[in-house]
Amino acid sequence: MTEITCKLLVIGAGPGGYVCAIRAGQLGIDTVIVESTKLGGSCLNVGCIPSKAMIHVAEEFEKAAEAAAGKTPFGLTAAEPKLDLKQAVAWKDGIVQRLNNGVAGLLRKAKVKIVHGKARFRDGKTVVVETETGPKTIQAEAIVIATGSAPVELSFLPFGGNVISSTGALALTEVPKRLVVVGGGYIGLELGTAFAKLGAKVTVVEAQDKILPLYDAELTGPISKRLTALGVEVLLGAKALGPTPKGDGLRIETADGKERSLPADKILVTVGRKPVTDGLGLENLVLDMDGRFIRIGERCETAMRGIYAIGDVTGEPMLAHRAMAQGEMVAEIVAGLPRAWDKRGIAAICFTDPEIVSVGLSPDEAKRADHELKIGQFPFAANGRAMTRHGEAGFVRVVAQAGSELVLGIQAVGQGVSELSAAFGLAIEMGATLQDIAGTIHAHPTLGEAFPEAAMKALGHALHI
């Protein structure tokens, strides 16, 4: 059996794991990273990147279809578009491959040793990796668990045949005529919206009484209107029961307790994600858990000295940029640098149509924390850039303490607002006040102008509404 010793072992080469390994290598730490599948993890290979690629394909197709139908308000017409989904998937796969190669190159540049195989803990300092050439034993002074998450499978609706996960949806080579989406969270709505634009008849089945349950009604309202305009049927308070007897649809229980069958060529199940820990040998460790997730402290440390956990395996929010920030921090901690983890500045984005971005506290969250508030909201209907390009639906909202005017949270909904997330996150990270935001000159004409206008609204002197 091959034996390897190192100072830092990273298990999992997703966004958190590979960033941790690269930063550790930059700091001169002898680092090994283990990955059982492809470098880049779910985000790069079957999640964030490929889904945004297919969302872009759907947006472009919709624009072309509207032009062919003479529905553009500015007089653009075009021939009826045709989509080769196989070519679109190949284009998406090409982007993923380039990014895979880029991650491998960055790891090599940082002098990180890459081991391909399935890792299993023998004890708190030793991991055995099953590789194609046989088992390798790795002993490390510090170990980072970065194994990520996977789609939750329903026992009565297992993946296979016409029941697919988000991974399967992104590999389809034909647009299903009828798509039923189980779960009205961000993954289901992102993909459901994309397929609706490509011509599928989409039905969303959500057990709760609203879509995107983590966001307030003001933010989700424009998305509900857009889904209706796209012909997407949204069934709230509805429960999936299982496939129809012939396997050609989904049986559900509606909000009024009646059973109904929904015809479907594909059933996309997006009811959440679970940590990937099976077979990792966690039973050989003494870790504190939060349900199925690994409990961590402010430095991503676990209950065992020298073992850290980052990313989705530690629970919500399951965001690639959270994992990256944690990975960078842990590498610096292992190098002896003083670091701690603060999640307040993490932006959460729904790449729906329109998009949602949220950083910090929502108004309801701030009220529950007993803050007296000043809230300012500026509509994109009064923003020149939105009117001429992005669409007028949506707004920017700023939530601040009444006395100090410290900004506690920022939210926006609208086309293209994901690109405002950097400004929002920076404002929270730097401890900005309403006056700081209002006094920062924003270029005209841009969507970003809505940001200081919202702050001025909270101060009582918005200029353009």
| pLDDT > 90? residue 341 | no
Residue recorded with tokens 């089945």: 205
Q: Which residues contact 333 (CB under 8 A, 6 or more apart)?
A: 299, 300, 308, 339
Contact 285, 124 (CB under 8 A): yes
Using DSSP, state whether 210 is helix, strand or coil.
Answer: coil
Q: Which residues contact 60 (CB under 8 A, 6 or more apart)?
A: none
What is the per-residue pLDDT for 392?
85
Instruction: Tell me what the mean pLDDT of segment 340-369 comes to.
Output: 94
Q: What is the mean pLDDT of the chain?
A: 96
What is the per-residue pLDDT for 171?
95
Using DSSP, state whether 354 is helix, strand or coil.
Answer: coil
High-pLDDT (> 90) share of the chain, %: 97
| Burial of residue 176 (number of CB atoms within 10 Å: 0-12, 13-18, 19+) | buried
Question: What tens digit of pLDDT does each residue of 49-108 get?
Answer: 999 999 999 999 999 999 999 999 889 999 999 999 999 999 999 999 999 999 999 999
Instruction: Tell me what the mean pLDDT of segment 324-349 comes to.
Output: 94
pLDDT tier for residue 179 given thresholds of 50, 70 and 90:
very high
What is the per-residue pLDDT for 273?
96
- The conformation of residue 289, written as its DSSP 8-state character, comes to E
Question: Both tokens of residue 198?
Answer: 């490509």
Question: What tens digit of pLDDT does each residue of 121-174 get?
Answer: 999 999 999 999 999 999 999 999 999 999 999 999 999 999 999 999 999 999
What is the per-residue pLDDT for 66?
94
| pLDDT > 70? residue 390 | no
What is the per-residue pLDDT for 444?
97
Using DSSP, state whether 394 is helix, strand or coil.
Answer: coil
Question: What tens digit of pLDDT does each residue of 417-432 get?
Answer: 999 999 999 999 999 9
How many CA within 13 A on the CB side of residue 350? 29
Question: Both tokens of residue 252?
Answer: 């559900």
Strand partners of residue 180: 203, 267
High-pLDDT (> 70) share of the chain, %: 100
- For residue 251, CA distances in Å to 231, 247, 329, 434 come to 21, 10, 47, 51
What does the alpha-carbon distance between residue 458 and residue 186 come to, in Å, rounded to a whole number? 29
- The conformation of residue 353, written as its DSSP 8-state character, comes to S
pLDDT tier for residue 342 given thresholds of 50, 70 and 90:
confident
What is the per-residue pLDDT for 340?
87
Catalytic residue among 442, 444, 461, 464: 444
What does the alpha-carbon distance between residue 416 and residue 39 come to, in Å, rounded to a whole number? 29
Whole-model pTM: value is 0.95
Q: Let me know if 56 is a catalytic residue.
A: no
Q: Which residues contact 330 (CB under 8 A, 6 or more apart)?
A: 20, 144, 299, 300, 308, 310
What does the alpha-carbon distance between residue 219 and residue 414 come to, in Å, rounded to a whole number? 9
- For residue 1, CA distances in Å to 7, 35, 128 come to 20, 19, 10
pLDDT tier for residue 280 given thresholds of 50, 70 and 90:
very high
Instruction: Tell me what the mean pLDDT of segment 275-303 comes to.
Output: 96
What is the per-residue pLDDT for 391?
73
**DSSP string of 109-144?**
HTTPEEEESEEEEEETTEEEEEETTEEEEEEEEEEE
